[in-house]
Amino acid sequence: MDLSRHLKHPVFKVIASVAARERAKTFVIGGYVRDLLLYGDGAVLKDIDVVVLGSGIEMAEKVRSSIKGEVHFTVYRNFGTAMLKWGDTEIEFVGARKESYRRNSRKPLVEDGTLEDDQNRRDFTINALAISLNPGSYGTLSDPFDGVRHLKEKLITTPLNPGQTFSDDPLRMLRGIRFACSLGFRIEKSTLEAMTLNRERITIVSQERISDELNKIMGSRQPGKGFLLLDETGLLEIIFPELHSLKGVDEVDGQFHKDNFLHTLKVLDNICDKTDNLWLRWAALLHDIAKPRTKRFEPGIGWTFHGHEFLGAKMIPVIFRKMKLPLNEKMKYVQKMVLLHLRPIVLSRDIVSDSAVRRLIFDAGEDIEDLMTLCEADITSKNERTVKRYLRNFEIVRQKIVELEEKDSIRNFQPPISGDDIRHVFGIEPSRPVGIIKNTIKEAILDGEIPNEFEAAFQKMLEAGAALGLTVRNPLKKSSD
């Protein structure tokens, strides 16, 4: 198969010229070739992997010196690789390698190899495809493992024995599941069985690498499929036991609860139709994470999960820390979504009061739209009438949010009276009464008892102070006076 007309990036001509001059056999390999064959000229191809029979670093240096214009160049001598960044495209050069593995490590012993050796060590047949950049064969495809056929069949399988492939480098199991999600492929039967047999090998992989693959699965178009495959292979119980514990249905007196694992994956897939926000997707995955710990059967009522949103919010930092996910504002965002995810649902069931909506706006702040998106995704009933009723009520809640936000400016509001104001007026030091008065003013505004304005807040401050036995010692004027 001649693919020369598809090699449109100018770097290929430069590499071919250098390869001819240096008599160094050079090939483009891996994901670039795979996506070129999958999507043709419509593919978005920003990463190019080049394998050289010889030194990848030396070839990269010579290619760099042959390029006219600015390129960024980085050498990774410990890995025997070099990276050129030309515009928005990254081109990585590596020498063809032959690898062997030790039982207790996924870091291989590496020696120089042939193109065939390099293709043998690739994770999947669809990633072992290579295109020649050499004189006389420029653009010719090398496909020793039927990768093109597997692309057409939408099949994930390994070049060599899958058991050995996954035992050598267990991270490949997660990569295979990730490709199944991102490409919409299925995993070949013996390959899937080998994942199950080698599942315990995943324990030699660092948590950072595992979480990186989980994030890529979460960013795919079918993440729910990925977690089903992780569960089917037994990997989920090892790498994410909290999620695995959601599985199953209990029965008491003929009453069942839904399978919270399947429900969670449905919510995750629902939200992926609406957003690419990775951390909102994580919130969808974790929104019911505390249900196994809060599950109770109450006679006359049935199965309950009281307080699972509060316990779930407390679990988020623990899970993020264990999984080496960021412990910053992204974690706090997920924690907030988990804590608040029931609030709009409760509002949609009842008559929506202005006070309840104000509190929702205040607590959610700038993330109110994301919270509503999560709540809409959380409606997974198979009864179309139930779904339509909830979604219709959510629209009422959304309209209330718009109306009250325009009228009261509640989102992220700060009460017109500060703690400094309170201390000044009553002549007191920082103390518990200051917090009580501040909270009284805030609650009055959220309840709609007073408007979010200085004069009304000032009067409420005086009333609250008097109730605590405080007297006015200093006058207070608006800062604009």
What does the pLDDT look like over 138-147, one tens digit per residue?
999 999 999 9
Q: Residue 346: is its pLDDT beyond 80?
A: no
The pLDDT tens digits for 186-206 are 999 999 999 999 999 999 999
Per the CB < 8 A criterion, the answer to whether 423 and 459 are in contact is no
**More reliable by pLDDT, 451 or 352:** 451
Q: Residue 106: is its pLDDT beyond 90?
A: no
C-alpha 352/C-alpha 343 separation (Å) is 11
Indicate whether 164 and 138 sit together in one domain. Answer: no
Q: What is the pLDDT of residue 385?
A: 86
Reported confidence tier of residue 111, pLDDT bands at 50, 70, 90: low
Indicate whether 139 and 160 sit together in one domain. Answer: no
What one-letter code names the amino acid at 67?
Answer: I
Domain finish residue from 125, 152, 179: 152
Indicate whether 146 and 181 sit together in one domain. Answer: no
Reported confidence tier of residue 351, pLDDT bands at 50, 70, 90: low
Rama region for 453: left / alpha / beta (φ>0; ψ in -120 to 50; rest):
beta
Average pLDDT for residues 57-69, to the nearest whole number? 90
Indicate whether 134 and 163 sit together in one domain. Answer: no
Q: Residue 185: is its pLDDT beyond 60?
A: yes
Q: Residue 479: is its pLDDT beyond 70?
A: no
325, part of any domain: no
Reported confidence tier of residue 481, pLDDT bands at 50, 70, 90: very low
Indicate whether 102 and 199 sit together in one domain. Answer: no
Indicate whether 33 and 160 sit together in one domain. Answer: no
Q: Please give the share of the chain, as a percent, with pLDDT higher than 70.
A: 94
Indicate whether 89 and 55 sit together in one domain. Answer: yes
The pLDDT tens digits for 133-176 are 999 999 999 999 999 999 999 999 999 999 999 998 999 999 99
Q: Residue 480: is its pLDDT beyond 60?
A: no
Q: Residue 104: is its pLDDT beyond 70?
A: no
What are the CA-CA distances from residue 203 to residues 90, 107, 226, 473 (Å)?
32, 14, 19, 67
The pLDDT tens digits for 261-271 are 999 999 999 99
323, part of any domain: no
Give 232: exposed, middle or buried? Use CB within 10 Å, 0-12, 13-18, 19+: middle
364, part of any domain: no
Residues in the chain, total = 481
Per the CB < 8 A criterion, the answer to whether 452 and 416 are in contact is yes
Indicate whether 101 and 223 sit together in one domain. Answer: no
Q: What is the CATH number of the domain that holds 8?
A: 3.30.460.10
178, part of any domain: yes
Q: Quick count: other Cβ atoms within 10 Å of Cβ 435?
A: 12
Of 397, 389, 386, which is closest to residue 347 (Cα–Cα)?
397
The pLDDT tens digits for 331-344 are 999 999 999 999 88
b/e code 369-392 from CB counts within 10 Å (16+ = b)? ebbbbbbbbbbbeeeeeeeeebee
Reported confidence tier of residue 407, pLDDT bands at 50, 70, 90: confident
Domain finish residue from 186, 216, 239: 239
Structure token pair of residue 337:
């979504």
Domain range for 179 is: 154-239
363, part of any domain: no
The whole-model pTM stands at: 0.85
> Looking at the 3D structure of the chain, how many domains does it have?
3
DSSP string, 29-87: ETHHHHHHHHHGGG----EEEEEESS-HHHHHHHHHHH--S--EEEEETTTTEEEEEET
CA atoms within a 13 Å half-sphere pointing along the CA-CB vector of 416: 22
Q: What is the pLDDT of residue 3?
A: 87
348, part of any domain: no
Q: Residue 236: is its pLDDT beyond 70?
A: yes
Beta strands 109-112 and 130-132 are: unpaired
Q: What is the CATH number of the domain that holds 210?
A: 1.10.110.30
What one-letter code names the amino acid at 394?
Answer: F
Average pLDDT for residues 48-57, to the nearest whole number? 93
342, part of any domain: no
Domain finish residue from 239, 259, 274: 239
C-alpha 412/C-alpha 415 separation (Å) is 10
Give 432: exposed, middle or buried? Use CB within 10 Å, 0-12, 13-18, 19+: exposed
Indicate whether 458 and 432 sit together in one domain. Answer: yes
Average pLDDT, the chain: 90
